[in-house]
Amino acid sequence: MREFRYEEPRSVDEAIALLAKPGRNRVMAGGTDLLVRLKRREWTVDTVINLKRIPGLRGIEDRKDHVFVGALTHLDEIGRSELLASRWPFLRETVHEMGSPQVRAMSTVGGNLCNASPAADMAPPLLCLDAVMVARGPLGERTVPLTAFFAGPGKTVLAPGEILTGIRIPPAPAKGCFIKFCTRRAMDLAFVSVAAAKVGSDVRLALGAVAPTPIRVPPSVEEAVKRCSPIDDVRASAEYRREIVRVLVRRALAKVAP
């Protein structure tokens, strides 16, 4: 790994100022994606800005008109949250499908979304819940619906110098499910994932790993198959992935809206 500077800011403003300095600077949350890429020399950085000592970026709070999940909230905290489980039990199911206990104890929901992998497991359920991303940067705070947050594989619409501070989830409870298809039972990335949710009478559907970004699609098997654009790679062919989308979407819709 190439040498880099390491900073531990104590406020969001300090982190934003460090990020704005000249050079290749990156923020770090749990480091489970970042450190792997640095070790593999896929990324080089001048400064790593660790966000973990900034108060207020971690935790889950009922704010009446939404539930706020801090960007630095660990995945295992999401899995253990009674507040989240009482409204959206499928978020707990999703977390239990991710990584290992060690990975879940280190990694954060903000890191999972900002990493912008097409296979990021937190994305499909949060897309179904109409989650809104809260970002802060040199120009202040702004919100972006999760449906507009991903810009391509590994890319988000966060502007230079912006940091994700949290996620707002509208308060309506939902019945939902998350189905992940991968080659191993554990520690594997999805080659297809599907989340479905029923919020009131509204049925919602989202897909992971079958397009350049996680996507929300209309809640029908035909539309899901039509709108996904899977690729061939070492793990599965596009044709096979499309067939798995057909099967998993049928199952997911049967679970939430039988």
List residues binding ligand FAD (CB under 6 A). 26-34, 36, 51, 71, 75, 98-99, 103, 106-108, 110-112, 114-115, 120-121, 158, 163-164, 187, 189
Instruction: Quote the least distance from Cβ 150 to ligand FAD, whole Å.
Output: 12
Q: How far is the CB of 98 from ligand FAD (least distance, A)?
A: 4
Residue with tokens 């896929």: 42
Strands of 60-62's sheet in order across: 60-62, 67-70, 163-169, 132-137, 140-145
Nearest CB to ligand FAD, comparing residues 107 and 213: 107
Cα separation, 148 vs 223, in Å, equals: 20
Could you identify the residue written with the tokens 């977390």? 95
Dig out the tokens for 230 from the structure. 């899977």
**Please, what is the minimum distance in Å from the beta carbon of residue 159 to ligand FAD?**
11
Give least dist CB 22 to ligand FAD, A: 17
| Residue closer to ligand FAD, measured from CB, 181 or 199 | 181
105: closest CA among 73, 139, 63, 82? 73
Dihedrals phi, psi of 188, to nearest 5 degrees: -135, 150
Please identify the residue of the shown chain whose CB is closest to the bound ligand FAD: 111
Taking the least distance from each CB to ligand FAD, the nearer of 20 and 254 is 20
Q: Quote the least distance from Cβ 13 to ligand FAD, whole Å.
A: 14
Distance of alpha carbon 209 from alpha carbon 189, whole angstroms: 9
